[in-house]
Amino acid sequence: MLMIHAGSAEIKISIIVPCYKVEKYVRRALDALLAQTLEEIEIICINDGSPDNCLQILKEYEDKDSRILVIDKPNEGVWKARLDGIRHSSGEYIGFADPDDCVRNDFAEKLYRAAKGENADIVCCGFDRVDCETGRVFSREMTKFCCESFDLSRDPGLMLEVNAALWNKIFRRKLLTNMKQIPEIPGALDDMMFAQLLYIHARHIAFVKESLIRYSVRSDSIISTIRPALLPGIYRAMLDVRRIYEKDNPAMLDYLDGIAFLHLGISLMYRMAGERTEFDRILQKNTHYLNRHFPNWKRNPYISLSYTIRHRGANRKLLLIRLFYQMHLFKGFLAVYRFMIDRFGIDIKW
């Protein structure tokens, strides 16, 4: 059997791959990661109590290539799986990969070069959002950001334009090892909240304006199946995130209010709109929650005409949808939005 050894070289990037019920996809993902042009990487695969053949497949790859480390654990969810991966990692930077996605072979190299060239805490790349069954590309995102890099501590409002996923970014190690924890992990929007806990102490973020990832959209994804029963846990967890911001970096609270509007006011309500008989009540309760706990979503300095003009159109979509919200026309907007998606396949990411 051919054995490939990482050698004694310092690990530049640790890539953490949580696995649960992905035996159909995981070989393709691992093959893409092992083909990276940046050789000084390690791939930490977490078998999160998967009931299928994931563990056997992961062990097969671990036997072939010493850059792969497999951790087998009881199912506790992707958040805790990532924490286990972080604890076992040794990379200068840490990234995350979903096992049903596929990265380009220069993904790690281009992100690492940008990180070192810009002395960045975070590097973000573009990606294609792809239908998992048909391969059709829905959209190409994060390839036309308004700048090459910026200082998050000076202008956090630009982060409202950055997608909150973890899988198209690498992070300086200390951001993850020093990350504060919340007591209750939400049943949805957990990636967004995980990201906010990393951003709170980040300074410099840089961009690779190329699509380096094919992100698979699956019909059974949690992003498409948010149930009303999950809402209380989402609300509690977001409040816990806010408490950490209040203590550790209160200067970023206006930014966090903007994030709450973006992800709870817009994205969450879009995914709840299928609850036709309950939606009016859900929307009213959600707006009350925002008003009480994230009050600056209404007059947010980063969601304003002056900010949009100064920053070459940044956050203009947020500004538009906030006007719909404040004029009580959000339900009408959602109806038009759904029609555009269903009829024309146009999906505007907020």
| Residue 1 falls inside a structural domain | no
CA distance 323 to 60: 54
Helix H segments across the chain?
A: 26-34, 54-64, 78-87, 107-118, 173-177, 190-199, 231-248, 253-260, 269-272, 279-293, 305-310, 316-326, 330-339
| Residue 173 falls inside a structural domain | yes
Of the candidates 63, 92, 71, 93, the residue with the CA atom closest to the CA atom of residue 17: 71
pLDDT tens-digit profile of 51-72? 999 999 999 999 999 999 999 9
pLDDT of residue 332: 85
Lowest mean pLDDT among 241-245, 305-309, 328-332: 328-332
Q: Are 173 and 92 in contact (CB under 8 A)?
A: yes
223, 246, 281 - which closes a domain? 223
Q: How many helices (H) and strands (E) does the chain have?
A: 13, 10
Question: In terms of residues, how long is the chain?
Answer: 350
pLDDT of residue 335: 79
State yes or no: pLDDT of 306 exceeds 90. yes
| Residue 7 falls inside a structural domain | no
pLDDT tens-digit profile of 206-247? 999 999 999 987 654 444 558 899 999 999 999 999 999 999
Kindly compute the dihedral angle of the four CA atoms of residues 158, 78, 285, 323, in this order, to the nearest 10 degrees: 20
State yes or no: pLDDT of 152 exceeds 50. yes
Cβ contacts of 199 within 8 Å, gap of 6 or more: 122, 152, 156, 159, 252
Task: Specify whether 232 is located in the same domain as 198.
Answer: no
Task: Specify whether 203 is located in the same domain as 245.
Answer: no
Task: Specify whether 117 is located in the same domain as 250.
Answer: no
Residues 170-181, mean pLDDT to the nearest whole number: 97
Task: Specify whether 192 is located in the same domain as 300.
Answer: no
pLDDT of residue 179: 97
Neighbours of 158 (CB within 10 A): 21
Residues 100-110, mean pLDDT to the nearest whole number: 96
pLDDT band with cut points at 50, 70 and 90 for residue 345: low
| Residue 188 falls inside a structural domain | yes
CATH of the domain at 65: 3.90.550.10
State yes or no: pLDDT of 294 exceeds 80. yes
pLDDT band with cut points at 50, 70 and 90 for residue 334: confident
State yes or no: pLDDT of 7 exceeds 50. no
Q: How far is CA 237 from CA 188, 232, 270, 335, in A?
A: 10, 9, 20, 29
| Residue 8 falls inside a structural domain | no
Lowest mean pLDDT among 199-203, 318-322, 325-329: 325-329
Lowest mean pLDDT among 19-28, 99-108, 265-274, 332-341: 332-341
Task: Specify whether 206 is located in the same domain as 240.
Answer: no
223, 250, 284 - which closes a domain? 223
Domain count for the chain, please give it. Answer: 2
203, 223, 243 - which closes a domain? 223
Q: Are 118 and 163 in contact (CB under 8 A)?
A: no
State yes or no: pLDDT of 49 exceeds 60. yes
Of the candidates 244, 337, 335, 242, the residue with the CA atom closest to the CA atom of residue 297: 242
| Residue 2 falls inside a structural domain | no
Parent domain of 246? 227-344
**Backbone conformation region of residue 323, classed left if phi is above 0, alpha if psi is from -120 to 50, else beta:** alpha
Task: Specify whether 52 is located in the same domain as 190.
Answer: yes
Task: Specify whether 207 is located in the same domain as 231.
Answer: no
| Residue 255 falls inside a structural domain | yes
CA distance 63 to 26: 16
| Residue 71 falls inside a structural domain | yes
Task: Specify whether 141 is located in the same domain as 178.
Answer: yes
Task: Specify whether 279 is located in the same domain as 213.
Answer: no
CA distance 344 to 194: 33
Task: Specify whether 86 is located in the same domain as 179.
Answer: yes
Percent of the chain with pLDDT over 70: 91
pLDDT of residue 20: 96
Buried b (16+ CB within 10 A) or exposed e, 211-238: bbbbbbbeeeeeeeebeeebbebbbebb
Neighbours of 343 (CB within 10 A): 8
Task: Specify whether 159 is located in the same domain as 52.
Answer: yes
CA distance 26 to 21: 9
pLDDT band with cut points at 50, 70 and 90 for residue 342: low
Task: Specify whether 320 is located in the same domain as 338.
Answer: yes
